[in-house]
Chain A
């Protein structure tokens, strides 16, 4: 388990990081960036997998299973949609198709 104040520092530094790394994003990338950050919180899948691995009762297994399905859907869907949006930026840079 993570020590209380150390955890607070991690929360704080991660929050500043999040604000800093998108601070200079052009409007043109707002949609793909929102979609990309939507993909990144798909990491929740890892938490759901561990929760399911420790589940014993049928109810706990059912809840963990739902968590894994939803988390995996967030990650997979988020990735595909973001990649498709960003593909279009390539087609415009490489001249016309």
Chain B
């Protein structure tokens, strides 16, 4: 065997090892005990695969390769290190878009190579999967960038115009037709460019009308898309590691997307095409919001026996999770039954709240999922809603005209008393009014989440010290 053959074997063996490490790594990431080891295993797999690739790339363009890796790794590594925990969802969207873009670039390179005059005609399966991978990767890239911009507050939450769905459909159909033409009719460089322009445009158009409340589902969907694109380009290039890793992520991501869509009681098609989650109307709400001072709120808590805390994205923005846990500890010390109720899509990604509460040190057994906690609200003396809005909006159950009708919610409205900690009177991410905030047994504590928790801790001490007001 010559050296070149040996090097190829070495690289292929390394890819096999890397693929095994990816699967074991993801498997370990699905349990809290082994999760930290899981990402390390997957990371080792990535380093092995990347280094082994240098064995088969040879010296040609190696300077470009090293420079490209450095330019790709260094800024994202530094950025990822320092970004605030609350900004994680949009970072995941952005990095996912990069992966989709990379897969699309591979597809573009392959297609341009095939379309050169005199180039050998590729097998139909290779060509077809290169086209499909490029289509999905392009959609994932521009779609993820729009998702990132929306979550990062860089663009309006929704963007709509008349006949939007028809336009979207035409652009999508045109990109599929262009792809079909590349496979079945003619490999032409101009057609390749038209194909990519249409695919990239469709990613933008598809994401523009989707409102913020649905972003978790959309990011997860694009994550699955990128996985599939990677798998298909892996086939086109004949690299097994890309097929296995991409397909595993594609399947896991699709499954996760289904779980999320199910949690919102909406089929995925609904999320994508029903224009949910933006400035919807819903019924007007009678009555007014009733404010409360921190001292009075503390008295309510002092007299309560059972307290349920409902965190939402507002808690993340205010970085209030540590103070909220401090408040909870004070309540637990005073003999109260305190639990946290987590809606599956509270925050910007599923499990977002769990991550933040874990950061603050809240034990798992105090954190309850929606289905477990919902019957408990009836016997709850005081529910504290901090920074949550749409996930506690009773309109989801009662108001058929509301854009969130049908979404499962936390039944905070059943609680005997509710204290809502909120910075102002604005609406939530879905842009709709919340009847809970106008209910007779709801009091609004207008303050920043962290500040409010601080005041409540201090006032609670005062109430305890003074034997109650």
Contacts and interface: CB of A to CB of B under 8 A. Distances in A.
Interface in A35-71: 35-55, 59-61, 63-71
Contacts of B85: 84-85, 88
A63 B342 CA distance: 44
A80 B75 CA distance: 12
A32 B50 CA distance: 23
Given A23-B255, A74-B99, A77-B80, A36 B42 contact: yes
Given A14-B244, A44-B103, A22 B252 contact: yes
Interface in B129-161: none
Contacts of B54: 49
Nearest to B22: A40
Contact of B95 (A47, A77, A90): A77
Contacts of B65: 49, 52-53, 68
A29 to B, nearest CB: 6
A63 B108 contact: yes
B29 A27 contact: no
A14 B352 contact: no
A29 B35 contact: yes
A42 B229 CA distance: 11
A37 B220 CA distance: 10
A66 B101 contact: yes
Contacts of B62: 53
A71 B107 CA distance: 13
A33 B26 contact: yes
Contact of A50 (B57, B68, B251): B57
Contact of A43 (B18, B26, B36, B219): B18
A80 B81 contact: yes
B88 interface: yes
Contacts of B25: 36, 40
A25 B30 contact: yes
A21 B96 contact: no
Interface residues of B, number: 119
B68 A69 contact: yes
B98 A71 contact: yes
Interface stretch (B171-179, B363-371, B439-447): B363-371
A27 B354 contact: yes
Contacts of A55: 61, 109
Contacts of B253: 18, 34, 37
B57 A21 contact: no
A71 B102 CA distance: 5
Nearest to A54: B60
Nearest to A78: B95
Given A11-B243, A69-B68, A41 B230 contact: yes
Contacts of A45: 46, 50, 69, 72, 102
B38 interface: yes
A23 B245 CA distance: 17
B23 A21 contact: yes
B291 interface: no
A26 to B, nearest CB: 7
Contacts of A38: 92, 95-96, 99, 223, 226, 249
A28 B342 CA distance: 10
Contacts of B260: 30
Contacts of A95: 361
A43 B42 CA distance: 10
Contacts of B83: 81
A81 B230 contact: no
Interface stretch (B231-239, B304-312, B420-428, B454-462): B231-239
A19 B98 contact: no
B256 to A, nearest CB: 6
B98 A70 contact: yes
Nearest to A22: B252
B53 A46 contact: yes
Interface centre among B22, B73, B243 (most CB of A within 10 A): B73
A43 B248 contact: no
Nearest to A85: B355
B359 A88 contact: yes
A10 to B, nearest CB: 6
Nearest to B83: A81
B335 interface: no
B412 to A, nearest CB: 19
Nearest to A11: B247
B185 interface: no
Interface of A: 1-2, 4, 7, 10-11, 14-19, 21-55, 59-61, 63-93, 95-97
Given A39-B46, A40-B26, 7 more contacts: A11-B247, A38-B95, A52-B65, A65-B67, A68-B65, A71-B102, A81-B95
15 contacts: A11-B247, A14-B247, A18-B255, A21-B30, A36-B25, A36-B26, A36-B29, A37-B227, A46-B239, A47-B242, A51-B237, A63-B112, A68-B69, A79-B43, A92-B361
